[in-house]
Amino acid sequence: MEGEEEYIEEFSQLPSRTGKDVIDLEKYARLPRTNTYENVEAFLEAARKSREVKVLFIVAEWGEGKTSIYEGLLKKPEVIKSDLVIPISTKRLITHIKEKSSYFSDTASPGIRFFACLLYTIKDIIDNDLTQTSPFNKILIAPKSEEQATMDFIWKGLKSLFNILDQDSRVFIFLDEFEDIVDESVDIRSFIIAGLVDVINGYPRCLTQKPFAGRFHLLIAATPPAYERLVSETYTDARRFFGQRALKIDLEKLDRKNAYNYILGILKYCWEGKITKIPFRELGMFNAIYLSTLGNPRSIVNLIEMLLTRAKRRAPNGKIKVINPEDFIQTLSGQKIEVYGGEVSLLDKNSLSMLYSKLEQKCKKMGIDVNRCIDLTHLLLSNLSPLSIEEIKQKVKLKEDLLIYLNAVALSFGELWNIEPFIHFKKVAERADEVYSRLKSMEAPPNLSRVISALEFYEFDQENLSLVNQLFIPHQHLSELSFKNRPLFQNYIDFFTSFSPELRSEDEITVLVDRYIFDKVEKTKEDYIMLSPAALNIFYPSPSIFFLDFIEDLDKRFEIGTKIMRNLTDFEKEFYEGVIKLLEDGCERINIKKNFESYGFKDIEVINLSYREVAQQYSLRTRVLSPLRISEEKLRSQIESIAKEMKTAHIPLLIIFSWNPLPNEIKGVLETFFGPGKGVERVFYYLELPLTTIQCHQVIGYVLAQKNNYNIRRERWKARASRIINEIRFEDDLENFINNGITAGYTIKQLVLEELKPNEVPEILRTLLITDGNIKERYKQIRELEDEFKIFGKEFPVCPKDFESENAFEKYVNELKENGFIKESDGALKVDYTPVEKRILAILREYGGSIQKDEIDNLFISLTSYGRPITTGVYLGMLMERKDVGFSEGRGFFLRDIKVLDEEFENIKRDIQSLKDRYADFPYGFLVSVKQ
């Protein structure tokens, strides 16, 4: 790497891992807590005016700074005023519950028993932790005597507590780490939750009566799972007191900008504000720290401590080594850190080893310096921000063409993990704040600010020891990339969605980037590059772990999330199983049923979908394909095999769930096997439903958690599944496919018949086939045929339905028109083929001329209306009337050969002529029979 090893003055101090020095730390490193602090202070003010017990839940994950609310806010005199704040750990409370709950058996009230245990915990804290602190050193809570009533103990304890305070002063209990109840037995958990609910509801009563009314309140710091456990186990009470006497606030998350400032603040704290140079060679390492820790403040502190401590060991006394990319990689490789209460491994050593080996192979083959290539890789893995091409060449001392080395890296990632590892940017020439203000004046869409924030990175101002924001944009229009280079386009989509989950729509992201930013800003000519989210996910934790919250145990969540991120394409089987689970649990209007059908010696899988619409239901047979590793050769073979099985099992639709949209060459393969031939109706169809990386992680994660028998929150998974189904628009796309099938002919629509029965429709068609003109003309022709050929008392095949008048005939014709069987043009009736008839003929041609009725029905989307199935029977009858289709018991329905029809017609003509010749001179007479 560029430059010799560099050293700076050693740091003076390191921040506390537990947040005890938060007040001093916040002088330099402030978390984005403005809203939280305002909400807490508003709660304190409301509690001071209340006569009831007020409760505030501060909800955040492990390490996000719940405890620092006490250290950084509730210890400030200007905030707490004359009130008293007592910090209590939940584990300590649990200990007293286990040891002393039996002391309070003289009452059955959960609230009174819980409060008595809480009072004992307060006594323990004051007697052992706060004896030297005023005013706690003046408080003496007497233990409960054996004969003493519980309420008397509580009353005297409260009196001891409040006697040393002003009459207007309150006591606020800060109950920390409430998540500790989750690991306790059901009895302990029930004792705490029932007791807490009772206290909130006003028990013991003395808390809402003079002299203690409105003077005792609770702030409870809890993780989301602990809070949800409380809410779920008190569901009937939750609606009553949550939002009234019990409130909840969520701590703000660290975004990239705040994380950069927080890291810089921590470094300033370490040098007591006298920092002259940041101890990282690359500012983009800030982003690597942010991604490594998923923005968890406590983990950021721990990681910085780890890096600085290692750098100190590598330097002379009184100095610290400036951390370069190689140092960064070596220090963090294989390290396990706790993030949000779960353990993650950074820069996986096995993955790095595989990458190094592959790079060595590529470099030897391409005749380039492997050490320079590894230096380049270390730079890209440690500096997670856009780097200019010239800057990279300078940093890794490259005189050759950098593109050759980048190509070696790209090929290595592609062969190992089947991903495109880079995204490319241009730098915006204007200042970021200028762009912000100009775009805001345009009344832009709400998500534009999120897109801009994703594109914002930072440079370090050495003079002012501060960060200067800088905007970058994709190197070309995303709309162009979506056609030219789909994998690269998807990298950009992943880049935005991983930064902000609210950015879910590809179309929206494309419009916001292209129309509102790319076309509106001045760009530099120089190219910038950084690793794509797909590449980073192999070595750093992904935000998608947050979306695996249906896995109850946090460690298991991180274990599965990390496994998926590093080897996503290895889980094709689990992805398929997950897609089926996704359909089963995420669809509101669709029922899914998977089964296997036997055809000879082969079992073929069929996914039956039933789509509900008010009083009717559409049913169709489908097949599901879910590729993760896209290989044209492999997919061609797979698609060909599936196409054959679909034909054998009479399955009309293939649904493809893929990781990101399929490349154009794969779509070409699909058209080869599913597209119609020239001049031929299409028989088989496919739907493509691409999933994003985050969606794939959730689908696979659910299956892996099931296979490992990990505890799963079913309702949370179902909510996630439902959201994914909505995001990929599965139900909407299926509904559109069904509706389009009415025009294309594969959807059987409901018939609205009042005058006719379904089996009479083909008979009326027969009448129309042998007549022509408008209704009046056709009716006249029917009467003429009747007059000439009808034998009284016998059925008349030309017109099986008896028309008493032209109006009656017109009613029947109108019903056929309303149901789309015939059309009217300039008054003349046309009996063209319906879309369903055309499809039946296409199916018969596809299957070599003959097929059974149930097999034909399987190739349609059938309708059940008010419990009555509607199939192809009417349309087959119509085709038989047209003489296009015949039927026999052995063959089923078959295409009639025009030559055979022509021969049959000629035979009939000869028979008629023979009869005419035979009776030409035959004298006719009359025979009359009269009854006596």
Per DSSP, the three-state class of 100 is helix
Residue 874 exposed, middle or buried by CB count within 10 Å (0-12, 13-18, 19+): buried
Residue 691 bridge partners (DSSP): 659
Element (H, E) at 547: none
Cβ pair 97, 188 in contact under 8 A: yes
Q: Give the Cβ contact number of residue 330 at 10 Å.
A: 15
Res. 350: pLDDT tops 80: yes
Q: How many helices (H) and strands (E) does the chain have?
A: 38, 26
pLDDT of 243? 46
Average pLDDT over the chain, rounded to whole? Answer: 87
- pLDDT tens, position by position, 43-58: 999 999 999 999 999 9
Token readout for 922 is: 């035959």
Cβ pair 268, 28 in contact under 8 A: yes
Nearest to 44 by CA among 169, 177, 143: 169
Res. 440: pLDDT tops 70: no
Cβ pair 308, 366 in contact under 8 A: no
pLDDT of 918? 72
Which CATH number is associated with domain 24-250? 3.40.50.300
Per DSSP, the three-state class of 889 is coil
Element (H, E) at 474: strand 466-474
Between CA 413 and CA 427 the distance in angstroms is 26
| Omega before 204 within 30 of 0, i.e. cis | yes
pLDDT of 72? 80
> Mean pLDDT over residues 87-91, rounded?
93
> Mean pLDDT over residues 474-492, rounded?
90
> Mean pLDDT over residues 480-491, rounded?
88
Between CA 63 and CA 298 the distance in angstroms is 5
Res. 747: pLDDT tops 90: yes
Length of the chain counted residue by residue: 932
Between CA 276 and CA 826 the distance in angstroms is 90
Strands (E), 360-452: 387-388, 422-428
> Mean pLDDT over residues 108-122, rounded?
94
Element (H, E) at 56: strand 55-59
Between CA 388 and CA 328 the distance in angstroms is 20
- pLDDT tens, position by position, 287-316: 999 999 988 888 899 999 999 999 999 899
Q: Say which range, 208-217, 243-252, 458-467, 889-898, has the weakest mean pLDDT.
A: 243-252
Res. 238: pLDDT tops 60: no
Res. 508: pLDDT tops 50: yes
DSSP state of 285: H
Q: What is 174-193 written as a DSSP string? A: EEE-GGGGGGS-HHHHHHHH
pLDDT of 904? 73
> Mean pLDDT over residues 74-88, rounded?
91
Cβ pair 368, 377 in contact under 8 A: no
Cβ pair 683, 846 in contact under 8 A: yes
Between CA 532 and CA 490 the distance in angstroms is 10
Per DSSP, the three-state class of 844 is helix
Place of tokens 């691409």: 690
> Mean pLDDT over residues 196-216, rounded?
90
Between CA 26 and CA 406 the distance in angstroms is 42
Residue 458 bridge partners (DSSP): 469
Q: Say which range, 154-163, 336-345, 422-431, 768-777, has the weakest mean pLDDT.
A: 336-345
pLDDT of 7? 92
Per DSSP, the three-state class of 238 is helix
Res. 240: pLDDT tops 70: no
Question: For helices 297-313 and 325-332, what crossing angle results, to 10°?
Answer: 110
> Mean pLDDT over residues 794-816, rounded?
76
The percentage of the chain sitting over the pLDDT mark of 90, rounded to a whole number, equals: 46
> Mean pLDDT over residues 623-647, rounded?
89
Cβ pair 199, 207 in contact under 8 A: yes
Between CA 820 and CA 875 the distance in angstroms is 12
- Select the more confidently predicted residue: 721 or 613: 721
Place of tokens 């808390």: 207
Between CA 255 and CA 291 the distance in angstroms is 10
DSSP state of 862: E
Res. 528: pLDDT tops 90: yes
Biggest CA-to-CA distance, the chain = 141
Cβ pair 579, 699 in contact under 8 A: yes
- pLDDT tens, position by position, 795-804: 656 676 667 7
Residue 611 bridge partners (DSSP): 590, 618
Res. 37: pLDDT tops 50: yes
Q: Give the Cβ contact number of residue 735 at 10 Å.
A: 16
Q: What is 741-782 written as a DSSP string? A: HHHHT-B-PPP--SSS-GGGHHHHHHHHHT--SSHHHHHHHH
Cβ pair 359, 365 in contact under 8 A: no
Q: What is 787-831 written as a DSSP string? A: HHHPPTTS--TT--SPPSSHHHHHHHHHHHHHTTS-EEETTEEE-
What's the whole-model pTM score?
A: 0.74
Token readout for 359 is: 């790079």
Token readout for 687 is: 């739907």
Question: For helices 806-818 and 761-769, what crossing angle results, to 10°?
Answer: 110
Q: Give the Cβ contact number of residue 87 at 10 Å.
A: 20
Cβ pair 548, 561 in contact under 8 A: yes
pLDDT of 675? 79
Between CA 349 and CA 352 the distance in angstroms is 5
> Mean pLDDT over residues 237-261, rounded?
75
HEC string for 608-621: EEEEEECCEEEEEE
Between CA 287 and CA 254 the distance in angstroms is 12
Cβ pair 168, 82 in contact under 8 A: yes
Cβ pair 452, 471 in contact under 8 A: yes
Question: What's the one-letter identity of residue 225?
Answer: P
- Select the more confidently predicted residue: 124 or 31: 124
- pLDDT tens, position by position, 381-405: 999 999 999 999 999 988 778 999 9
Token readout for 152 is: 């008397």
| Omega before 211 within 30 of 0, i.e. cis | yes
- Select the more confidently predicted residue: 912 or 701: 701
Token readout for 55 is: 């409760």
Per DSSP, the three-state class of 598 is strand
Confidence at 791, pLDDT banded by 50, 70, 90: low
Place of tokens 């119509």: 878
Find how far residue 84's CA is from the centre of its chain. 45
- Select the more confidently predicted residue: 643 or 568: 643
Under 8 Å CB-to-CB from 845, ≥6 apart: which residues? Answer: 680, 895
> Mean pLDDT over residues 190-215, rounded?
89
Place of tokens 């190219």: 527
Confidence at 126, pLDDT banded by 50, 70, 90: very high
Per DSSP, the three-state class of 641 is helix
- Select the more confidently predicted residue: 656 or 500: 656
> Mean pLDDT over residues 305-328, rounded?
94
Under 8 Å CB-to-CB from 855, ≥6 apart: which residues? Answer: 650, 847, 892
Phi and psi, residue 156, nearest 5°: -65, -35
Element (H, E) at 459: strand 456-461
pLDDT of 790? 67
Between CA 144 and CA 396 the distance in angstroms is 73
pLDDT of 677? 64
Residue 387 bridge partners (DSSP): 529
Place of tokens 């009448």: 767
> Mean pLDDT over residues 152-172, rounded?
92
- pLDDT tens, position by position, 694-715: 899 999 999 999 999 999 988 8
For the chain, the distance separating the N- and C-terminal CA atoms, rounded to the nearest angstrom, is 127
